[in-house]
């Protein structure tokens, strides 16, 4: 009788140990996520400081975006040369992107612009439309992915690194974005943009195109009214120029339905550099 009780106790103890180990793993993953977020923005602010200090008298273009900017734009050096050929002077281009970032989160962490405000602020306008879908599970899996690849927590931010082509999302585009952004989520961004306007900064909002069929859906459904409402909300207090690519890019320009490949990036970079040049010339 005693032997049977001992045999039944062992599995219970094993399950308790497994449960405690699981809790500790998730606590560790959560801590890693917190540290990674702190590192992400600290390194980005340091990058802004370095670039602004080296700008001299050259115009400064600050670009804010998500992974759409990461995949959709060529290197800063290439963009500077493209703009310089049009304006006669190469600007300093500071690209700040972060996957799955929300616009209010970006402003919270980058609200302090060292030195002097940028000549031109370019914002990936898609952030004003849809918010990324952020879940604890996704963040935990990302933390495990970083840990197993031995990614250092204090790696300097480098905006021109080659994007990972194997991270394409081939499912429903709605799987990685949340509902449409509400005006209440843009209050802080509007206030920040207004203060930049007052300092002489010109603002350019750019819609980054997604794959043709998805882009058509985006501008021909109930969400369109929400996008236009958000643009009107900003226009009440912010002076900006809005650029929307008039043409469509087919699937050959993307690695998935939203992120551009090298072909798409080359096409779109050329287009956006013309818009940046025009904005600088209109100063």
E strands of 190-270, at which residues?
202-207, 240-244
Parallel, antiparallel or unpaired: strands 60-65 and 92-97: parallel
**Full set of structural domains in the chain with CATH:** 2-157+178-281 (3.40.50.1110)
Convert the pLDDT of each residue in 12-65 to its tens digit: 766 666 666 666 655 555 554 544 554 567 888 888 888 888 888 999 999 999
Entry pTM: 0.80
| The pLDDT value given to residue 169 | 54
The better pLDDT of the pair 76, 116 is held by 76
The percent of residues above 90 in pLDDT, for the chain, comes to 43
Q: Are 190 and 279 in contact (CB under 8 A)?
A: no
Convert the pLDDT of each residue in 132-186 to its tens digit: 665 555 555 555 555 544 455 456 788 888 776 655 555 566 655 667 888 888 9
The CB density around residue 140, as the number of other CB atoms within 10 Å, is: 17
Q: Are 240 and 204 in contact (CB under 8 A)?
A: yes
Q: Which of 177, 253, 165, 255 is nearest to 217 (CA)?
A: 177
């Amino acid at each position: 009788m005693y032997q049977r009780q001992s045999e039944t106790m062992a599995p219970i103890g094993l399950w308790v140990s497994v449960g405690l180990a699981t809790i500790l793993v998730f606590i560790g993953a959560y801590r890693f996520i917190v540290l990674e977020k702190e590192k992400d923005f600290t390194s980005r602010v340091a990058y802004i400081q370095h670039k602004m200090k080296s700008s001299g008298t050259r115009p400064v273009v600050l670009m804010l975006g998500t992974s759409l900017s990461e995949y959709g734009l060529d290197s800063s050096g290439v963009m500077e040369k493209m703009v310089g050929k049009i304006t006669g002077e190469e600007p300093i281009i500071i690209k700040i992107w972060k996957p799955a970032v929300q616009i209010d989160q970006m402003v919270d962490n980058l609200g302090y612009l060292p030195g002097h405000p940028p000549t031109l602020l370019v914002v990936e306008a898609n952030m004003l439309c849809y918010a990324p879908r952020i879940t604890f599970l996704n963040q935990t899996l990302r933390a495990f992915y970083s840990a197993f690849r031995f990614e250092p927590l204090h790696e300097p931010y480098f905006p021109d690194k080659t994007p990972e082509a194997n991270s394409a999302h081939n499912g429903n585009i709605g799987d990685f974005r949340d509902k449409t952004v509400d005006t209440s989520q843009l209050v802080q961004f509007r206030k920040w943009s207004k203060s930049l306007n007052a300092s002489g900064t010109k603002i350019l909002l750019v819609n980054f195109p997604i794959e043709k069929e998805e882009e058509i859906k985006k501008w021909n459904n109930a969400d369109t009214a929400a996008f236009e409402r958000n643009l009107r909300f900003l226009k009440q207090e912010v002076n900006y120029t809005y650029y929307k690519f008039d043409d469509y890019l087919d699937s050959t320009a993307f690695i998935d339905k939203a992120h551009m490949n090298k072909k798409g990036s080359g096409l779109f970079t050329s287009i956006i550099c013309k818009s940046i040049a025009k904005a600088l010339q209109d100063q």
